[in-house]
Structure 1
Amino acid sequence: MHTKCRQPSPWSLVICALFVASVLLPSTVMGKTKQWTSQADWSAGTGNNFDAKKTPGALQIFYDPAKQQYNETRFIYIPSSGLNTVAKMDTKTGQILWVYNLTPLGKGSNPSRTTVDTRGNVWVGLRNGNDVVAITQDGKFVTSVTVGGGPRAVTVDKNGDIWAGAYATGKVVKISGATYKPILTITDANLRSYGATTDSYGNIWISNRPFGNVVKIDVAQGKIVGRYSAPNVYGIAADRRGYVWAASYANSQVFQFDARNGNRVKTFNVGARARGVAVDGKNKVWVACSNTSAGANTKHVAWVDPFTGTVKTFNNVGTHTIGIAVDSKGFVWANSLSEGFAYKLNSTTGAYVAKYPVCDTTGTKTCYCNNGVKCTGCKCASAGASSPYTYSDMTGFQLQVIVAPSKATWRVTYDAQCKASFSKVNWNGSLPAGTKVTVRARSASTKAGLSSAAWKSYVNKGQALGVASNRFIELEFLMETQDSRTSPTVTDATLTFGHFPEICDGIDNNCDGSVDETYTDLGNTCSLGKGICKRNGKKVCNSAKNGTVCDAKPGTPQKEVCDNKDNDCDGQVDEDWDKKGQSCSVGVGACNRKGQWVCKNTNVVCSVVAGTPSAEVCDNKDNDCNGQVDDNLRKVCSSKCGQGQQSCQNGQWSACNAQQPKAETCNDADDDCDGQVDEGITRPCSTICGTGTEQCKR
């Protein structure tokens, strides 16, 4: 029985499943729903990093600055100014994975800025040229964009767009992160871009070294909105708390600016000439210090703890360290310009971990040119020949520091009670800019089977989930944000599904509590075959599952014989014996018996046996069964006069033909058969004499 279809709310969330079955089944009947709407519903789910309590009745990403999650930055892209190459290095192992030779592109040389965009592609600024170049993680050329003479500032904003600033021309170009095409150019005669960063409010900041200030660009307005004093500024970075940090080379200082108004909050002395700046995941500010005030190269980096205001220095890196970056696992990478090594430090303790050459000294690493074509020209004579020189975010982690991307998953299992086709999921809630909610699903015939079922791809609300029809489904919502301070919310979610019309298969397809109820003769006694082939069974579902059939299996037909059975199973019994059943008789006379022709010993015989003959009697019957009635029967009879015979006629004895007594006459015979002859016979007589009596005498 199907429930009446409810109209979904404007926010209802639907799950659509592609259904592939081994047999052709009727279409599903959609319209059933399962909703999750309350705090109790959300709290009953499982997952990671979700918050079902902060906003009553809503599901969102849990946010705790102290427990910030980061996407892994597995690679660092280090430009070698002296070789015109970029090396992709594994941040776990320090091994160079490939080297890209920029020379064949013909776009310039002296790469000194790299940054990673939201697609994972690396952008390279060529100081001795006019372009910034994009290269994929696989070492393939994507595009180049002309920004003007000597691009030295490259950063990515919160929307994923790329900003590149030219040192010689005063131009800043905004490049679409979607199309990689220029969409805005800002030109200012008093701007010489040297480094760039994005603050947590989405503004672009540029270190304007020749003019001794930092410049703030409002991304929404697309124009410069502020200039703030920062003498001899080099590297620049931002943290998620809303501060911008700028390194002052000449003063060996780092300036802390309030990103909202540009006020300098505090100045920190770092003990040596400050160059590159990076912020780690705990908001500590790391500074590369290249040399002393006297110009002597140092092996010096420092951190600034903005919470305590303390500065700590470390002399465990290479000489003349300029570039500095942080990865998502809590390691700091400091590039020694003089030595050509990347030094890896523990960001919690500042301890030295390892150092790795930033160019291919062995000639064994893959060398790419142009569109990922393997080529030559990447081998370096020594690590020092690389001259890694950069003031940018080589890992792409700085975007996470200010944007603080985060994500959460929420899972729930639903039992549809019967096999169902799951259609789609819709949800109601909010989706601020930079946030995203998707869902994926997996299904199984049992709840236990879900754990081994494969997940389908994440889809947006209302899109097909692609799960097979089953009884159980598990949903996983993925909530993502580019800035963990802003979370998407889900206030209700609706799963739409349908059960199947009832078919004959031993399953409750329409989930009404009854199995195969449409097929009322299911299980009834039935038979198949005729004659001796007939077998009994019961009604079961047919192979098409749209009706019933008898499950009996008829026997094998045999040759027809006369035995009162349908041996050849054609519905006729003993049809080869035509006279079977017809009347028959045996014997004659009293022995005659009437019957029918019947089968006996596979042949046809009369069903009766002739009677037993008896002595012929006079009864108008053939008692001795010889074909004659009364057989001329005679018998001796007698009278007072002697013997005679009687004959049988029409079942009656004739009169005895023996002489019968008669009146005695004078004839010399015993007429009355009393043993006397002519006794007592007299007669009157007369003579002339008179009358008298005359007596008969012999």
Structure 2
Amino acid sequence: MYRISYASLALGLALAFVCSATACLADAVPVTGAGRTFTTTADFALGEMKSVVTDPPDQLTLGIVSETEPFIWIANHTVGTVTKIDTRSGAIVGQYYSSRLPSQVLPNNLTGQIDIPAQGSNLQSPSRTAVDLDGNMFVANRAHVQTGCQGSITKIAGSKAYAIDRNRNGIIDTSTGAGDLRSEDECVLWTAKVGKPNGWVRGVAVDSENNVWAATFNDAVLYRFNGETGALMQAIDIKAETGNSAVQIYGIAIGRDGAIYSTSIDAKWAARTDPKGAPGSRIRLQQTAFQGYGLAVDANGVQWIGRWDPSGETNLQMIDWNTNPPTVGYRSSSYGGRTRGVAIDGNGFIWTANYDQNALLKFSPAGNFLAAYGVATGPIGVAVDSLGKIWAVCQTSNTCTRIDPATGARADFSAGGEPYSYSDMTGFQLRNYAARQGSWTVLCDGGSYAAEWQQVSWNAEAPAGTLVKVEARATESLAGLDAQPWVLLSSGAQLSDVKGRYLQVKATLRIVSGSASPTLYDFTVAAPRPGPEPQVMDIPSAKNAGEGTV
């Protein structure tokens, strides 16, 4: 008789995978023994440090630039979809409808709302995307193509860890690349209606608390939604509060002070709104000389707005809201034509999309013109990726262009068809100019199948306006790690039903307001209990296969 342990067999398969997988994963995700404390600079080097540094030594603090996830999310406006592109390779790694089915849309109890357009319809007309602090994406559906349509906003998971296994089959059923569109994609988390029909949702941004704001163009109302659930939390009616019926909202951005900055394309108004201020005094308006298009806010709370007027060489409008009244200025280059998207990189340089000249223009932090880079035809949106490279979404050519500022090297990629995207498409603006965030991640090997993890503890300092968040997930095989959801931990608390040979723990450091960084001093992962003894089952030998029993 042969004696085979099915548990051992599963462990053997897992180990076979580790032997091949760790060759490519070891550098990025080191596997280390469990039952140890991480407290020195050398200890922390065993994990993956993302936008955190050991300066001073033997502790973790936030670095100067906060790295985002290596993806850009581009709205495809005439086909009602969103395309996810790996910014390292330029490959399309997912395509999604920009909403769930109309019957699945969240209610938010605003009077006058109607059903959203059909999933995948050109009537959805998605245009703005924004990425949150977890790498998840929000897309605003303008619904402006036909009179009487209902606008909406949709959240799409940035990784399988944040997806929902709705059919409970143990896997996340989701898009795997170009053309793989699914009406029941488990990474498309929720859709919520925004405002009333004919509002035209033309603004979306994520705040430092990881909630999302959407804004309507015609009504000029800012709506705050819970980033997790999609529940409506707040509404600010700019027209009603200011008595200015001409104000519109063409785009929004959020600054480090938590204020929401907006533009009006036709009426030539800009606004700064303090969502925590008192009604009647929380909104400031400033008229500009030119039509405003895309916008970004720098570390000093200065608003930079693209000039849409076609004549002249003025590319940027600047509003410094720190003075009263605000200081208004204009910046020019030798490149005439209309400016659309605006973004600010990690060094404070300002990048704009020159639509008529098919160029990305680079300006100093003070707004002085520095250089121009050729891109594909019809650039509209601009974004900064995780490596500091600059992306332009090019509508006319149905492509996107990536520029390396260090070398000037250019690469062009498919944008998934009919691209039309503004706003914080990579999450870089949020992580560097609204909040700052970094993380340290370590993968521990428990040494046995079904290891029962006991406790994770740490010592940290979180000044006012900051936080330190620790999460964990366990798995038997590295192959299934990315699909496991994160579980929020409390320092020193007994872990409940966290089982698996491998435990991955992530500590996130975040500045919500102010400039002081949180600090992680040490981190301890207690050794797990070994998993249960393998169950041994008798399998008939070949000789007695016809007469034995299992």
TM-score, with length taken from structure 1? 0.42
Q: What pairs up with 1:286-297 in 2 under 5 angstroms?
A: 286-291=304-309, 296=311
In structure 2, the CA distance between the partners of 1:465 and 1:484, relative to structure 1 (3 Å rule), is farther
Inter-partner Cα distance in structure 2 for 1:170 and 1:488: 45
Unaligned runs of 5+ in 1: 1-15, 21-30, 54-58, 73-117, 362-376, 412-420, 440-456, 467-475, 499-698
Q: Larger Cα Rg: Structure 1 or Structure 2?
A: 1
Other-structure match for 1:300: 315
Q: How far apart are 1:186 and its partner, in Å? A: 1.5
In structure 2, the CA distance between the partners of 1:479 and 1:284, relative to structure 1 (3 Å rule), is farther
Q: How far apart are 1:246 and its partner, in Å? A: 0.5
Other-structure match for 2:253: 237
Partner AA of 1:314 in structure 2: R
Name which of 98, 120, 132 aligns with 1:145: 98
Other-structure match for 1:552: none
Inter-partner Cα distance in structure 2 for 1:338 and 1:488: 47
Other-structure match for 1:315: 332
Other-structure match for 1:570: none
SS in 2 for 1:200: coil
User: Are 2:212 and 1:204 aligned?
Assistant: yes
Q: How far apart are 1:258 and its partner, in Å? A: 0.5
C-alpha deviations, 1:275-307, integer Å up to 9, x for none? 21112355432111122xxx7455320333444
User: Are 2:187 and 1:180 aligned?
Assistant: yes
User: Are 2:80 and 1:131 aligned?
Assistant: yes
Unaligned runs of 5+ in 2: 1-14, 20-32, 100-115, 118-122, 158-162, 164-185, 240-246, 380-396, 401-411, 461-465, 474-480, 487-497, 530-550
Q: Which stretch shifts more, 202-211 or 314-323?
A: 202-211
Q: How far apart are 1:165 and its partner, in Å? A: 2.3
Q: How far apart are 1:493 and its partner, in Å? A: 1.5
In structure 2, the CA distance between the partners of 1:154 and 1:349, relative to structure 1 (3 Å rule), is closer
Q: What pairs up with 1:335-374 in 2 under 5 angstroms?
A: 335-359=353-377
In structure 2, the CA distance between the partners of 1:166 and 1:234, relative to structure 1 (3 Å rule), is closer
In structure 2, the CA distance between the partners of 1:45 and 1:200, relative to structure 1 (3 Å rule), is same
SS in 2 for 1:210: coil
- Whether contact under 8 Å (2:398, 2:418) holds in the other structure is no
Partner AA of 1:214 in structure 2: V
Inter-partner Cα distance in structure 2 for 1:233 and 1:342: 24
Q: How far apart are 1:60 and its partner, in Å? A: 7.4
- Whether contact under 8 Å (1:186, 1:223) holds in the other structure is no
Q: How far apart are 1:51 and its partner, in Å? A: 8.4
C-alpha deviations, 1:343-388, integer Å up to 9, x for none? 1223355332223223399xxxxxxxxxxxxxxx8699xx9xx999
User: Are 2:236 and 1:227 aligned?
Assistant: yes
Q: What pairs up with 1:67-82 in 2 under 5 angstroms?
A: 68-71=64-67
Inter-partner Cα distance in structure 2 for 1:257 and 1:191: 19
Task: Count the aligned residue pairs.
Answer: 357
Other-structure match for 1:154: 129
- Whether contact under 8 Å (1:435, 1:488) holds in the other structure is no
Query: Greater strand percent: which structure?
Result: 1
- Whether contact under 8 Å (1:342, 1:358) holds in the other structure is no
Q: How far apart are 1:239 and its partner, in Å? A: 1.3
The answer to which structure, 1 or 2, has the higher relative contact order (CA under 8 A, 6+ apart) is 2
Q: What pairs up with 1:327-406 in 2 under 5 angstroms?
A: 327-359=345-377, 391-401=422-432, 404-406=435-437
SS in 1 for 2:368: coil
Q: How far apart are 1:257 and its partner, in Å? A: 0.4
Q: How far apart are 1:163 and its partner, in Å? A: 3.5
In structure 2, the CA distance between the partners of 1:267 and 1:410, relative to structure 1 (3 Å rule), is same
Inter-partner Cα distance in structure 2 for 1:202 and 1:289: 30
In structure 2, the CA distance between the partners of 1:304 and 1:152, relative to structure 1 (3 Å rule), is same
Other-structure match for 1:427: 456
Partner AA of 2:131 in structure 1: V
Inter-partner Cα distance in structure 2 for 1:396 and 1:158: 7
Other-structure match for 1:218: 225
Over the aligned positions, Cα root-mean-square deviation in angstroms equals 5.1
Inter-partner Cα distance in structure 2 for 1:360 and 1:32: 53
SS in 2 for 1:399: helix
In structure 2, the CA distance between the partners of 1:139 and 1:218, relative to structure 1 (3 Å rule), is closer
Inter-partner Cα distance in structure 2 for 1:435 and 1:204: 20
C-alpha deviations, 1:163-222, integer Å up to 9, x for none? 3223332221323313332523325236221222222334433332222x1321232562
Inter-partner Cα distance in structure 2 for 1:19 and 1:390: 40
- Whether contact under 8 Å (1:163, 1:173) holds in the other structure is yes
TM-score, with length taken from structure 2? 0.52
Inter-partner Cα distance in structure 2 for 1:136 and 1:19: 28
Partner AA of 2:97 in structure 1: S
Partner AA of 1:229 in structure 2: I
Other-structure match for 2:141: 165
Inter-partner Cα distance in structure 1 for 2:83 and 2:59: 35
Inter-partner Cα distance in structure 1 for 2:80 and 2:343: 23
C-alpha deviations, 1:419-463, integer Å up to 9, x for none? xx9999952149999944679xxxxxxxxxxxxxxxxx9999987
- Whether contact under 8 Å (1:195, 1:206) holds in the other structure is yes
- Whether contact under 8 Å (2:306, 2:316) holds in the other structure is yes
Other-structure match for 1:678: none
- Whether contact under 8 Å (2:343, 2:351) holds in the other structure is yes
Partner AA of 1:122 in structure 2: W
In structure 2, the CA distance between the partners of 1:426 and 1:321, relative to structure 1 (3 Å rule), is same
Inter-partner Cα distance in structure 2 for 1:19 and 1:124: 37
In structure 2, the CA distance between the partners of 1:495 and 1:267, relative to structure 1 (3 Å rule), is same
Percent sequence identity over aligned pairs: 16
SS in 2 for 1:191: coil
Other-structure match for 1:189: 197
C-alpha deviations, 1:138-171, integer Å up to 9, x for none? 1355233346422234333445242322333222
